[in-house]
Amino acid sequence: MTRIYLADGNPEERAALRLVLEGLDMQVIGEAADWQTTIDDVPEMHLNVLLIDWGLLSTQPSNALETLRASCPAAIIVILISHLDARQQAALSAGADVFISKGETPERVAERLHTVAQSFRE
């Protein structure tokens, strides 16, 4: 089972994402509403995927993601983006593996997350 850590400042969005993930037979092993909690929790989680809201990253996202990579180098980092614009390239440039728009339908989010989980299993 794919083990996911979910970091998003909006509790309603975290709850909706948890439902999508559980529907895909993925296990949410931890959650955070802020960046500091994410940094503190992640090293101990033994996770496969980090699902992080772009808004939680500090003013230097590449440094923030480098910190996460150092603590869990094998994990896939998926960035959630509210608006598709230059942020999608910025997320990838900062070290994310994948980005997902929060504006996508739940079905499309599920499809993208399923693809991420499949890539981990291979």
Helix pair 11-23, 106-121: axis angle to 10 deg: 60
Tens-digit pLDDT profile for residues 105-117: 777 887 877 787 7
CA distance 98 to 86: 14
CATH superfamily of 3-121: Response regulator (3.40.50.2300)
| Structure tokens, 29 | 């092993």
Is the overall model pTM greater than 0.95, yes or no? Answer: no
- The closest alpha carbon to 77, from 92, 88, 55, 89, belongs to 92
pLDDT per residue as tens digits for the range 3-27:
999 999 999 989 988 988 888 888 9
- pLDDT, tens only, 18-57: 988 888 888 999 999 998 899 899 888 889 889 988 888 7
Q: How many CB atoms lie within 10 A of CB 45?
A: 16
